[in-house]
Amino acid sequence: MTYFIRFICFSLTLTLIGLTVVVSHLSAEPAQGDDLIGTQPSDWILSDWINSKLLELNDLKGKVVLVRFWTGPECPFCRASAPSLNEFYEKYHGQGLEVIGIYHHKSPTPVSRTHVQKLVQEYQFKFPVAIDYDWKTLRRWWLDKRERPWTSVSFLIDRSGMIRYIHPGGQYVKGDQDYIRIESKINELLAETA
């Protein structure tokens, strides 16, 4: 009889664990930004381009575009991700990837083009960088849709101009899962035709 009671208790425990996993999976919120996948981002409102002439989003159709919103040295995630952005640009630009850095200022001091140029040089960015004064583009693309925990967001846009992947913020460093996922998605989108 004791073995039978233990068996019933064990079976009930496994059933409860299974139900807990199912319920938590069903009630889990979608990943940050999943609501934007498959949509076309609105035009950006950017000025003071560095490493480039003025670019419009429409000018980049036919290319795969990695857009990274970043800020200055007070953001350790932006600093940590800078080498990955440089590597993606160097490795895939010749295959049709364009990397765009969009600077949004968080410091209490006024933003200046000179300040951003110094950061671009410090991070060794060779790709186009623009300043998002008053966060107009960041709000339109990311923050106006719903509350988000990060502003250092990255968007991966396909050749036809649709958002196909979003890294919702934080860092990606060579070898970590986020870096691997982004690089895999870049390769997938570069292999597609518009």
Per-residue pLDDT of 115-133, as tens digits, reads: 999 999 999 999 999 999 9
Domains held by the chain: number? 2
Q: Which of 140, 159, 154, 163 is nearest to 43 (CA)?
A: 140
Do residue 9 and residue 36 come from a single domain?
Answer: no
CB 185 within 8 A of CB 64: no
Lowest mean pLDDT of 8-12, 43-47, 53-57, 151-155, name the range.
8-12
Q: What is the pLDDT of residue 4?
A: 47
Name beta bridge partners: 156: 66, 165
In this structure, the answer to whether residues 122 and 93 fall within a common structural domain is yes
**What local confidence, expressed as pLDDT, does residue 3 receive?**
53
- Separation CA 156–CA 122 (nearest Å): 24
Residues 115 and 161 occupy one common structural domain:
yes
Same domain for 87 and 22: no
Same domain for 21 and 37, yes or no, is: no
The DSSP call for residue 144 is T
User: Could you tell me if 83 and 13 lie in one domain?
Assistant: no
CATH of the domain at 98: 3.40.30.10
Q: What is the pLDDT of residue 144?
A: 84
Query: For 10-24, how does the pLDDT look when each residue is reduced to its tens digit (9 = 90+)?
Result: 444 434 444 333 333
Q: What is the pLDDT of residue 172?
A: 95
For residue 158, pLDDT beyond 70: yes
Together in a domain, 88 and 13: no
Tell me how many helices (H) and strands (E) the chain has: 5, 6
- My answer on whether 90 and 153 are in the same domain is yes
- 146 with 172, same domain: the answer is yes
Range of the domain at 57: 32-191
- H-type alpha helices, the chain: 2-27, 76-92, 113-123, 136-138, 177-191
